[in-house]
Chain A
C-alpha cells in the first residue's frame, strides 16, 4: 500500500499538468530561462498568492524542467542570518555536486519571517540574491507586508491566483478515478467550494473523507462542514468570555452562525470552566438564569423580540462576571447535547411505542405518559 499522502502521490510530474495556475508557472519558467541567459529584468522572482495553489510545486517543476538542482529553505530555516548564509550562501557559491546545469535557490514562506526572531533574515536573503550566480525564487502568501518591501523591489513579481472550484473538481475527480472511489458530483463540488481556492486543502479533505471507501456521498461531506462549525464555536466562547463590554460580547455572539439554544448550552457548560472563583461563577449563572427566563417566555408566548434580551443577559453576564482579566480556558462540548445525541435511538424507540399505545388507547402521547404508562409499568413488573 502506498503510504504517501494523496497530495504528494498525485502531484503533477511536469509543468503541463499544473492545474489552475499554468500561466503563472510558465511565466516563472520564462523568467528562470531569461536569468540563465543573463537577460532577466530582476535578480529574483517573487511568487505570491494564497496557500495551496501551486507556488512551491511550480518552482520544483521548473527546476526539474531546466535540470537545475533545487536548494530549498523555508521559514523554519530562516531564523538566523547565520543559517541562511550557511545553507543558501554555501549553495550559491559552489557548483552542483551532481553535475547539474546549475541551481535554483528557493526561499519558501518568506512572510513567515517574524520581526524580532529573524534578526537580519531579510537582509541576509537580499545579500544572497545580490551575490548569487543562480536564480533565486521567493514565495510568500502576502507579499505586501512592509518588511518585504526591499525584496519586492528587487524581484520579478508573479501572481498565483486562487484555483477556481471547477478546476479543483476536475482534479479531485481524476484522483477519485485513480484510487477507485466512486464520488458523487455534489460531494466533490462541496469539497472544492469549502477549500476556497486551496487545491492542497481540497485534496487533503478529499483523502480524509474518501480514503478506504468505495463511495463518497454528498452527505458525508456535509458532516465535515459541521465539524468545522464546531471549531468556530470555540472561538465564539473565547470572544464572549474575553469581552469587556456587553456590546462587544453581543457582537461576537451575533456575528457567529450559532443559534441561541446552542449558545445557551455552551455557556451553561463552560461558565464553570471559565470561572473557578465561586463569586464569579454565581454572578455569571445569575445573569444566565435571567436570560433563560426571557428565552422561555419568548418561546412559550412566541414573542421573538424577547430573544435579543436573552442574548444580552446571557453573554453580557458571562462576559462581565469576571473580576480579574481574562484567562485562557479550554472549553468543552456541552455534555447535555452529547448525552442527548447518545441516547437518541432509545428516545426514538420510546416515542414509537408511545405512539402505538396512543393509537390503541385513543389518547394523546402526553396522556399516555402521565395516565397510562405508570399502570402499564406496574402490570408488567408484577407479572415477572
Chain B
C-alpha cells in the first residue's frame, strides 16, 4: 500500500516537471540562433517572440519604422520542440546577443520557459552545460501585419553578389537605385563622391532566376540594406522583391528550415 502511494507521488512530481515547462526547444547548432539574434538585433532593440505549437515567430519594426523584420522558425527546424500554447517571449536583443556571443562551435542550444518564471533559460549543451537566464520583458504587443504589396519583380541571387554590390555602392553614396529590365539586375549609386553601376546577370552565375511583370526601379537607403546583410550568415541565397517606388522585400531561407524576411520602405526621389 505504502509503496503504491510513493510511486504515485513520484509520478505526480515527474508530471509536474513536464507540465511546468510551457516551452522548450533544442537547436542542434547554437550558432544558428546566434546568427538569427544578430540579424534581428541590428534593426530592433526589443521585441516579442511568439512561441506556438508550430514554431517560433517574431515581427518587429526598427525605431524609425522604415524597416521591418519577420522571422519564421518552424518546429521542424529544431531538434526537439515542445510548446502547447502560444506564449509571448519579450526580450531585449542586446542582452540576448551578448549571451549568444558565448556559444561555442558544436554546442547545442536549449531554450526553455517555465510557467512560473518571467525568464528564458538559455542552455548551451556542449562538453558541459552552461545555463543563462534572461529576464523577459513585458512589452505591450503591437499587432503588426506585413506590408500588403504586389511585387512586380522576383529575383533569386547569391547573397555574396548582393553584399558586394552594397559595399561597392557605399563607396560613393548613401542610397542605391535598383533597376530590373530585361534579364538583368542593375544597381546604381551616385553621389558627390562619384558613381558606380553594378550589373548582376545570369551569365556570371550570381543571378539564379529573375521574373518581372514590368520594368521596375526604386531607391533604397544603404544604411538599412547594409544592416540586413548581417543575415547573410544564415543563407547563401536570397530572394529580392520590389516594385517601382514601393517597399522592398528580402528573404533569407535557412538551410535548416526557417526564414528571415526584411521589408524596407523606399527612399523618396530627390527633388
Contact = CB atoms under 8 A, between A and B. Distances in A.
B247 A97 contact: yes
A90 to B, nearest CB: 4
A96 interface: yes
Interface string B54-75: 0000000111111110000000
Contacts of B256: none
Nearest to B271: A133
A333 B267 CA distance: 61
A95 B268 contact: yes
Contacts of B264: 94, 97
Contacts of B149: 99
B223 interface: yes
A97 B64 contact: no
Contacts of A77: 63
Interface residues of A, number: 17
Nearest to A83: B63
Interface string A9-43: 00000000000000000000000000000000000
Interface string B249-271: 00000000000000111111000
Contacts of A99: 147-149
A97 B265 contact: yes
Interface in A93-137: 93-99, 133
Given A95-B268, A133-B268, A90 B147 contact: no
Contact of B64 (A88, A95, A98): A88
B147 A94 contact: no
A337 B68 CA distance: 59
Interface of B is mostly: loop
Given A71-B65, A86-B63, A87-B63, A93 B267 contact: yes
A307 interface: no
Interface string A62-96: 00000001010000010000000011111101111
Interface centre among A87, A91, A94 (most CB of B within 10 A): A94
A71 B65 CA distance: 7
B68 A97 contact: yes
- Measured as residues with beta carbon below 8 angstroms from the partner, the interface class of chain B is 20 to 34
| Candidate in A71, A88, A93 with the most chain B CB atoms within 10 angstroms | A93
B24 to A, nearest CB: 28
Contacts of A133: 268
Contact of A93 (B62, B68, B221): B221
B76 to A, nearest CB: 30
B1 to A, nearest CB: 46
B218 to A, nearest CB: 10
Given A90-B223, A90-B224, A97 B67 contact: yes
A94 B63 contact: no
A124 B268 CA distance: 20
Given A93-B221, A97-B147, A97-B247, A87 B64 contact: yes
Given A94-B265, A94-B267, A99-B147, A71 B64 contact: yes
Given A97-B247, A97-B263, A97-B265, A91 B66 contact: yes
A311 B224 CA distance: 67
Interface string B137-151: 000000000011100
B66 A97 contact: yes
Given A90-B223, A90-B224, A133-B268, A97 B65 contact: yes
Contacts of B64: 71, 86-91, 94
Given A86-B64, A93-B221, A98 B268 contact: no
A334 B89 CA distance: 46
A93 B68 CA distance: 16
Nearest to B247: A97
B268 A93 contact: yes
Nearest to A91: B64
Contacts of B66: 90-91, 94, 97
Contacts of A71: 64-65
B68 to A, nearest CB: 6
A77 B67 CA distance: 18
Contacts of B245: 95
B208 to A, nearest CB: 27
Contact of B268 (A69, A87, A94): A94
Nearest to A4: B140
Contacts of B224: 90
Interface centre among B65, B247, B267, by most chain A C-beta atoms within 10 angstroms, is B65
Nearest to A105: B64
A88 to B, nearest CB: 7
A86 to B, nearest CB: 7
A69 B65 contact: yes
Among A86, A87, A88, A98, which residue has the most Cβ atoms of chain B within 10 A?
A98
A69 B245 CA distance: 18
Contacts of A97: 61, 65-68, 147, 247, 263-265
Nearest to B248: A97
A88 B64 CA distance: 6
A382 B66 CA distance: 88
Interface of A: 69, 71, 77, 86-91, 93-99, 133
Interface of B: 61-68, 147-149, 221, 223-224, 245, 247, 263-268
Given A90-B62, A93-B221, A94-B64, 5 more contacts: A69-B65, A88-B64, A89-B64, A95-B245, A95-B265
15 contacts: A69-B65, A77-B63, A89-B64, A90-B62, A91-B66, A93-B268, A94-B266, A94-B267, A95-B245, A95-B268, A97-B66, A97-B67, A97-B147, A98-B147, A99-B147
The 4 closest A-B pairs by CB, nearest first: A90-B64, A97-B265, A94-B265, A91-B64
